[in-house]
Amino acid sequence: MSNGALSPGDGAARQTPPRHVAIIMDGNGRWASARGLPRGEGHRRGVEALRRVVRAAHELGISYLTIFSFSSENWSRPASEIGDLFGLLRRFIRNDLATLHRDGVRVRVIGEREGLEPDIRDLLREAEDLTRGNSALTLVVAFNYGSRQEIARAAQRLAIEVAEGRRSSDTVTAETLSQYLDAPDIPDPDLIIRTSGEQRLSNFLMWQAAYSELVFVPIHWPDFDRAALEGAISEYARRERRFGGLAAKTGS
């Protein structure tokens, strides 16, 4: 894990990139407050940062980019701020979906859709349906998402199968449960980045993050750009991933 300021190394873009990068986009409100601006402006600038990072991820050869766009815990925020966030989502999909599709980006959505406004559900479905055949980059949008809730839903599905006699309880393993998560076909993230200097996962991909490398950067999300992404990837490239095993031997 790292919490220092990162700068891209000279060869950052030449490194083999992580296959899957996930980002906790944190600090929009603090960015705005530091400039005497309303929180809504911070969220708007955050969308601009998202555009930059999606483009950069595509150019750097990343296959999967997951973004934490709206947490299941975000419902506790003021109604006006929730309205601003949903308005930005609507505008992002309506204004950017054609560009994403043109660039070969596939959109996937994880999280709970029950209880969302019908037009939001329709927009999420439209984004997935339009881009289903694309393969240049998969953009996974974690919307109304919480990792504990995702794991609980998976456990409930397995429990129903056991109760109905369609599965024996001794077949329930970690591998089995993982197949009942929201997107079981997507590989676990190699690298998870959180902006704004906070150092926690905040109920994001906790199952999938078991062996992810974590990089914490001190800048707020609206200031995140390609250079910051390359810096995080450079830090990732310096790590030795052992997945619970021993370090590789470097000498006889």
Torsion of CA 86, 181, 167, 164, to 10 degrees: -10
d(CA 219, CA 132): 33
Catalytic residue among 3, 10, 74, 119: 74
208 found inside a domain: no
Q: Is 188 a catalytic residue?
A: no
Q: Which of 160-164, 235-239, 248-252 has the highest mean pLDDT?
A: 160-164
125 found inside a domain: yes
pLDDT level of residue 40 (50, 70, 90 thresholds): confident
State how far the alpha carbon of 119 is from the alpha carbons of 90, 115, 183, 227, in Å: 9, 11, 23, 36
**Would the pLDDT of 13 be above 60?**
no
pLDDT level of residue 77 (50, 70, 90 thresholds): confident
Catalytic residue among 26, 84, 182, 190: 26
Q: Is residue 202 a contact partner of residue 71, using CB atoms and an 8 Å limit?
A: yes
d(CA 116, CA 213): 32
- 210-232 as b/e, with b when 16 or more CB fall inside 10 Å? eebbbbbbebbbbbbebebbbbb
Q: At what angle do helices 39-60 and 79-102 cross, to 10 degrees?
A: 30
36 found inside a domain: yes
Q: Is 74 a catalytic residue?
A: yes
33 found inside a domain: yes
CATH number at residue 29: 3.40.1180.10
Mean pLDDT for the chain overall: 88
160 found inside a domain: no
170 found inside a domain: no
Q: What is the pLDDT of residue 12?
A: 40
43 found inside a domain: yes
- Residue ranges making up the domain that contains 24: 20-143+193-201+214-236
Structural domain count, the chain: 1
Enter the tokens of residue 205: 């991909």
In terms of pTM, does the model score above 0.85? yes
108 found inside a domain: yes
Q: At what angle do helices 79-102 and 118-131 cross, to 10 degrees?
A: 20
Q: What is the pLDDT of residue 75?
A: 75
